[in-house]
Every structure is written in structure tokens, then in C-alpha cells.
Amino acid sequence: MQSYHAERSRTGSVRRLPSGRYEVRVSHGYTIDGKQRTIREVCDTEAEAEARRYELAMQMQKDCHVSANITLRKVWELYRADRFQRLAGTTRDTYTWQMESVILPVLGDYDVSKIVHSDIQRLLSAQTRGVAQKTRTTLSSVLSWAVKRGILAENVMRRANFELPRVEQQEGFDVDPFAAIEGSRDVWGVSTVLECFERIAGLPLEPAWLACVGAGLRVEEALALRRMDVRRVMIGGRLVTQVAVHAATTKVESRKGTKTARSVRIVSFLEPFGARYWELVEKIREPSQEVCCVSAANQNKRWRSYFAEPREYHKRMAESRKVQGRLYGLPYIPLSRMRATHETMMQEAGVLDSLNAAMHGHSETVSRKHYMRGSSEAAIEQTERYFTLVS
């Protein structure tokens, strides 16, 4: 019996049959029931089979609408089956809510190949700006997947811009516009950070706050830090608190890897945040114990309670439970914005944007590790001098 010979490529495959002829197989796109479309033909020679393989591939690319009549709802089902488990838990939740609550009720029964710019624009215009931004991201991701799988010829969202709803003007501009603008900033200044530093001492979320504002960590990274991930070392004649960032804790997944591969990094704290963080760490004896005891599912509610109006407590209540209103009067921003506050302070101190991105684990980081290691400490000192000067 003659052996089979197959050559595979992105445009299909050619294999030699026992009869000596050659079979061409090209798969592209999906049918309405979700099965992959495949064309098979038999040619006399290998050269004819190769030519036919490319011809069929080009024909199927141009004839993508053969897989039309597939609704956006069906594409979403296929997307979930193929792609969903490779997404982060939070992203899965966001995409699911966006598709099932916002997008599918409007466009779910549309033939996906017939969705045009105006359909999407009407959908976005009916949302608030924040929801519309996430809707645009979610739908584009699903349509791009459909293009890669041959269900669509192109992602219509990639070749046109969409107008997002305007941000409603905040109150107070007719009374004191300067105060209104300053109050709407989504990062804190140095004086607010220092005031919080004094008032947050002893609260359950203090360790996470210190890691976010003092080292620029994401909230999920700060919550994942354990005793073994922290050290106090002498660098350039000064004691520095450093953390090894390699994991994250979210409300969907208790412990997982960092957001990107470049997010795995060693980060130094600004002072006085580093000294205080080390003070808290020294009280922990178990190496695997997490420094912050607040769960990811509860951190947002707990953080908001710090800014609520203070209330009277029963005299027998433990001090550890008297947390509401401890930060009352400070401008509220989410705990997640403390990372941006840290990054902003470094920018204002004159730290290079590329180095700033690297220290915060952004995906566009510069990858020259030896240069970064030496310069990051200088950046910390530079920012600390600025911090001290402003305060």
C-alpha cells in the first residue's frame, strides 16, 4: 500500500492518495449550524493540486458571504465555544454582560455579514459614554474573531470611526469652575496622598493602598502579595522595600498570573510608603500569608465605606470594625486609580515615559532589562525628592 503524503498550510492541504492522485482540501468559514465548511477535490498531478489549492482558497476568501445567514447571536455562541476559556475571568464577565445585555438585544438577530456602520453607531449612541466604550471593544473583538475564522470578510469596525456619546458637564461650573475641575480629577495630588497616609493607618485595605500608591501596582497585584514576596534591601546606601510581582487576585479567579508577561517584575516603593509597608509585613510570620487580608470581591465596597459619612459606634465595638468615614472629606476615587496617581507623580517628577511604563508593567515597556534595573532606583529617588519638595 502506498503511503500518504500531506503538505499543510494556512491555505489548505494537499495529500497523495493510495491511487497516486492528489486530494486538495481547503477549509474556511462556518455553516449556519456552526460546522466548518470544507471543499475537497481530486487532481491528477501534484502541480495541478497545488494550483487548485490556492485557487480554492482565494475563491473562499472572496465568497465569505456563503456563510451568511449566520446571525450575530450564533457568532457569539461560536466565539464562546472557541475563545472564551482563553480570556481572563473579568474579561469574560464584561464581554458576557455587554453581549447579552447591550448588543444582542439590538443586533443579535442581524445577519452578521449585513451589519453596517450605521447599525453600530445607533447602538453606541443609545448608551452612556462609559458603556459605549466597552460595547465598542467587545463587539470589535467578536467581529475580529469572526474574520479570522472566515465567517466575515472584514470587521466593519476597523475601517470607520464611531462617535461616542458626550460626557455630560458636571455641576458646579457656573459657581466655581476651578473647584469643579479640580474636584473632577481622577488622581490625587501629593498633599491628598500624604493626608490619606496619616488617616488610613490600621485599616484593612492599608497594605493594598500602600502598594498601589507607593509602588504603582494594580489592585489585583497588591492583593496577591505574600510575606515571601516582600524584602527590605540596601541599595545605594539607602534601605528600599521591594516586592516581587508575579500573581494577581481577582473576584472571579482567586489567584492567577499577572495581566501580561511583562507585568512580572520587581518594584521598589517610594518612601515613606515602603517603610510603612515593611512595618506591616514584619508582623506576619507565615511566608505564604497574604499581606492584605481583604478579599478581591469585597475590596471595592470596603474602600467606598472609608469615604462615607462617619457614624456613631457602640462603645463596646472593636476598633478594627470602626472603619466607616475614616477618609471622609477626601475626594473619592477608586482604589484602582491609586496606580495612576503613582504614575502621575513620577511623570511630574520628570521620570522618562518609557521607564515609567516599564516600572508599571505596561505592555509597551522597553525591554532593555539591565538598563531598566539600574535606572529604576534613580527614578525612585528622583520622585521621592519631588514628593518631599511638593509636600
Same domain as 209, residue 106 = no
Q: How many domains does the chain have?
A: 3
CA–CA separation, 50 and 71 (whole Å): 34
Among residues 30, 62, 94, the one where a domain terminates is 62
CATH number at residue 329: 1.10.443
In a domain, 67, yes or no: no
The pLDDT tens digits along the chain (391 residues) read 333 333 344 467 888 999 989 998 887 655 545 556 677 889 898 888 887 877 776 666 555 444 457 889 988 988 888 888 888 777 888 899 999 999 999 999 998 888 889 999 999 999 888 889 999 999 999 999 888 877 787 888 887 788 888 766 555 566 666 655 555 557 888 888 999 999 999 899 999 999 999 988 999 999 999 999 999 998 888 888 999 999 888 876 678 887 777 788 888 898 889 999 999 999 999 999 999 988 888 888 889 989 888 777 666 665 556 678 788 888 888 888 888 888 888 777 665 555 556 555 554 333 333 323 334 566 667 677 777 777 6
pTM for the model: 0.57
Same domain as 227, residue 133 = no
CA–CA separation, 91 and 156 (whole Å): 22
Contacts 24+ apart (CB under 8 A), 125-129: 125/163, 125/165, 127/102, 127/165, 128/165, 129/164, 129/165, 129/166, 129/167
Same domain as 283, residue 251 = yes
Boundaries of domain holding 123 = 72-158
Same domain as 102, residue 57 = no
* pLDDT value of residue 61: 59
CA angle 190, 192, 198 (to 5 degrees): 105
Cα-based distances in Å from 340 to 347, 371, 382: 10, 24, 18
Same domain as 296, residue 234 = yes
CATH number at residue 94: 1.10.150.130
Among residues 135, 158, 181, the one where a domain terminates is 158
Same domain as 55, residue 89 = no
Same domain as 340, residue 203 = yes
